[in-house]
Amino acid sequence: MIIRTIGFAEKMLGFKEKEIHFEGTKRLSEIIDFSNIPIDLLAIIVNERAATKDSEVKTSDKIIITQIVAGG
The one-digit pLDDT tens for each residue of the chain (72 residues) are 999 999 989 999 999 999 999 999 999 999 999 988 888 999 999 999 999 999 999 999 999 999 988 776
CA distance 28 to 33: 9
Please give the single-letter amino acid code of residue 42: L
Q: What is the per-residue pLDDT for 36?
A: 87
Q: What is the per-residue pLDDT for 72?
A: 64
Structural domain boundaries of the chain?
2-67
Distance, CA of 30 to chain centre? 11
What CATH number does the domain located at 2-67 have? 3.10.20.30
